[in-house]
Amino acid sequence: MSTFPATRLRRLRRTGALRGLVRETRLDLADFVLPLFVCPGDGIDRPLEGLPGIAQRSVDELALEVGECMSLGISSVLLFGIPEEKDEEASGAYDDDGIVQRALQSLREEFPGLVLLTDVCLCEYTSHGHCGVIRDGEVSNDETLELLGRTAVSHAEAGADAVCPSDMMDGRVGTIRSALDDTGHEQTAIVAYSAKYASAFYGPFREAAESTPAFGDRRGYQMDPANVREALREVELDIQEGADVVMVKPALPCLDVIRAVRERFDLPIAAYNVSGEYAMVKASAARGWLDERQAALESLTAIKRAGADFVVSYWTKELARWL
Ligand code: PBG
């Protein structure tokens, strides 16, 4: 085994071109999904304080934004809806004329080649902000499943390519798969938020989606950040129930989880570079404490290096310009 001075690892770091030759991980815009927030109304483009560069938009404005994104080379978006009204049963989530359904119909027609993903969860649609219906002070797993199935079907009918359940109810992937298959949507894929942790890093998103729980927190259904073996069990169950892609979320605090899932399973892995991961860098950059572009590229490279096949990131639009 040769060692120093025969071996000098700095030789291949000397110039940019040499470093490029031996680079192990590259960012490709085709691997990125931009999250978008759609709200009722007309002509609305409301920037979000906690998510600089991201806005709530009405369907007409959303279509303009998507057109611009597509001209930059972005091919996939993930839709979140802010409904007109919220209620105990989250009826806005599975209304065929709901906000996400209307956005899907309009985008599907205008951009046939666009990959349309939708978040399937009740938290934006319930008056209390929890991800399921409440019975006796708790989120009722099995009653929520039926509503998630209806939501997924209505998204598929409106043109979604894939539905992304993010609620963390047990059995949701199987329920959604059967609901889709029973209604002729056997081609609609499921991108399951399988290892979704109860994370502090969702803070800015809850402002954007107006989905902060009115009481308690989500630790009764989202995962404990201390656990990784449990994440593998979640992933395994979702695969058995029919997930086409499994997701790990958040991304940067969970690089080890992404790696562990990569080593154990062969299906595609998505990672969600969440709102707090983005906002931390934006806030530091605004103070001149770090370089945003470099910090973003380093973050996204780390997520890919850990083993993610594609990444949901608020940086996707800026990334299109950087690459
Ligand atoms: C809905 C959902 C959340 C996020 C994605 N889907 C919020 C939550 O679970 O509280 C977070 C995304 C982000 O922080 O960027 N359940």
In a domain, 1, yes or no: no
Give the contacts of 40 (CB within 8 A, at least 6 positions apart).
58, 82, 83, 84, 99
Number of domains comprising the chain: 1
In a domain, 8, yes or no: no
User: How far is residue 238 from each of residues 142, 157, 230, 274, 319, measured CA to CA in Å?
Assistant: 16, 23, 12, 21, 31
Distance 101 CA to ligand 1 centre (A): 19
Among 268, 225, 267, which residue's Cα sits nearest to residue 250?
Answer: 225
* CB-CB contact of 222 with 196 (8 Å): yes
In a domain, 147, yes or no: yes
Distance 175 CA to ligand 1 centre (A): 21
Q: What percent of the chain has pLDDT over 70?
A: 100
Locate 185 and state its tokens: 């949507």
Q: Given the CA of residue 275, which atom of ligand 1 is nearest to it?
A: 15
Q: What are phi and psi of 251, to 5 degrees?
A: -95, -60
- Cα–Cα distance for residue pair 98/100, rounded to 1 Å: 6
Q: Given the CA of residue 211, which atom of ligand 1 is nearest to it?
A: 10
In a domain, 231, yes or no: yes
Among 208, 159, 160, 152, which residue's Cα sits nearest to residue 181?
Answer: 152
With a 6 Å cutoff on the Cβ, whether 179 touches ligand 1 is no
**pTM score of the predicted model:** 0.97
* CB-CB contact of 266 with 311 (8 Å): no
With a 6 Å cutoff on the Cβ, whether 275 touches ligand 1 is yes
In a domain, 5, yes or no: no
Phi-psi region of 168 (alpha: psi -120 to 50; beta: other; left: phi over 0): left
- Cα–Cα distance for residue pair 268/320, rounded to 1 Å: 22
In a domain, 9, yes or no: no
Rounded mean pLDDT, 60-76: 98
Q: Whose CA is nearest to atom 11 of ligand 1?
A: 202
Residue-range definition of the domain harbouring residue 212: 27-322
Phi-psi region of 237 (alpha: psi -120 to 50; beta: other; left: phi over 0): alpha
- Cα–Cα distance for residue pair 71/97, rounded to 1 Å: 29
Rounded mean pLDDT, 45-72: 97
Q: What percent of the chain has pLDDT over 90?
A: 98
With a 6 Å cutoff on the Cβ, whether 33 touches ligand 1 is no
CA-based Rg of the chain, rounded to a whole angstrom? 20
In a domain, 250, yes or no: yes
* CB-CB contact of 270 with 247 (8 Å): yes
Distance 167 CA to ligand 1 centre (A): 9
Locate 142 and state its tokens: 């099995």
Q: What are phi and psi of 172, to 5 degrees?
A: -70, -35
> In this model, does residue 2 exceed pLDDT 90?
no
Q: What is the mean pLDDT of the chain?
A: 97
Q: Given the CA of residue 201, which atom of ligand 1 is nearest to it?
A: 14
CATH number of the domain where residue 173 is located: 3.20.20.70
With a 6 Å cutoff on the Cβ, whether 197 touches ligand 1 is no
With a 6 Å cutoff on the Cβ, whether 246 touches ligand 1 is no
- pLDDT on residue 111: 98
Residue 15 confidence class, pLDDT cut points 50, 70, 90: very high
In a domain, 19, yes or no: no
Q: Given the CA of residue 276, which atom of ligand 1 is nearest to it?
A: 14
Q: Whose CA is nearest to atom 6 of ligand 1?
A: 166
Supply the residues annotated as catalytic. Answer: 196, 249
Q: How many CA atoms lie within 13 A of 286 on its CB side?
A: 11
- pLDDT on residue 243: 98
For residue range 206-257, what is the model confidence (pLDDT) as tens digits?
A: 988 888 999 999 999 999 999 999 999 999 999 999 999 999 999 999 999 9
